[in-house]
């Protein structure tokens, strides 16, 4: 139970009914593409020996990268590579969607791309290493085919290339 006095809406669990009607309708009728995976991948060593990367759909991009394009029909399926040394405060946000409250990730990018947190966990020896490169994409995609066939394999290839042991996926 929440302690007395915490009455802000930020304490309330998200449910589909929190979305405006048009989004509820979309999300209830959308034919979700199931996560494309097969059993087998698992972390076989402690986190304290593992290298971790983050992939987020928060549509963050560096100022030296092109912005995500919310006007593309079906959604912008491109991704941005975010190097670990990026100053999080310089990241821009590509979403034009009004489906969720952006103010949290605007105030603290770690809320979706927790690079500072991962560095702290590594310093505390709870994590072995933080990947040199992380990835962001635009989550509000209604036609995900190209995201699945083009973007996802490329991100997977780059993660394997940098010997990432495990990935945290953060939606917004």
Partner 1 sequence: MIEKSGIPTVSISLLREVTERVRPPRALDVDRPLGYPLGAPHAIDLQKRIVMAALELLLIPTQHFLLIDFPKSI
Token couple for 21: 């009607």
Residue 52 to residues 12, 46, 83, 109: CA-CA distances in angstroms? 30, 12, 13, 17
CB of 78 to partner 1, least distance (A): 16
Q: Does residue number 89 form part of the binding site for partner 1 (CB under 8 A)?
A: no
DSSP-derived pairing of the beta strands 166-170 and 51-56 = parallel
Q: Does residue number 35 form part of the binding site for partner 1 (CB under 8 A)?
A: yes
Selected range binding partner 1 among 32-40, 65-73, 75-83, 84-92, rule: CB under 8 A: 32-40
Query: Which residue among 4, 6, 7, 13 contacts partner 1 (CB under 8 A)?
Result: 13
The DSSP 8-state label assigned to residue 149 in this structure reads I
Query: Which residue among 69, 83, 101, 145 contacts partner 1 (CB under 8 A)?
Result: 101
Separation CA 121–CA 8 (nearest Å):
29
Show the beta-strand stretches assigned E in the chain: 51-56, 60-61, 79-83, 92-93, 129-130, 133-137, 166-170
Residues of this chain that interact with partner 1 (CB under 8 A) are: 1, 9-10, 12-16, 18-19, 27, 32-43, 46-47, 50, 52, 55, 99-105, 107-108, 110-112, 114, 117-118, 120-121, 126-127, 148, 152-153, 155-157, 159-160, 164-172
């Amino acid at each position: 139970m929440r302690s007395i006095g915490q009455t802000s809406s930020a304490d309330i669990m998200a449910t589909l009914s929190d979305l405006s009607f048009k989004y509820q309708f979309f999300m209830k009728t959308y034919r979700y593409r199931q996560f494309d995976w097969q059993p087998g991948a698992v972390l076989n060593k402690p986190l304290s020996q593992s290298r971790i990367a983050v992939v987020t759909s928060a549509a963050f991009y560096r100022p030296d990268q092109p912005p995500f394009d919310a006007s593309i029909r079906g959604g912008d399926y491109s991704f941005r590579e975010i190097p670990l040394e990026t100053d999080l405060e310089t990241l821009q946000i590509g979403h034009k969607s009004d489906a969720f409250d952006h103010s949290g990730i605007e105030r603290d990018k770690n809320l979706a791309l927790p690079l500072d947190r991962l560095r702290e966990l590594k310093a505390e020896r709870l994590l072995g290493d933080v990947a040199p490169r992380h990835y962001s994409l635009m989550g509000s995609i209604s036609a995900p085919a190209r995201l699945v066939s083009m973007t996802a394999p490329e991100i997977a290839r780059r993660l394997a290339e940098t010997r990432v042991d495990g990935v945290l996926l953060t939606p917004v």
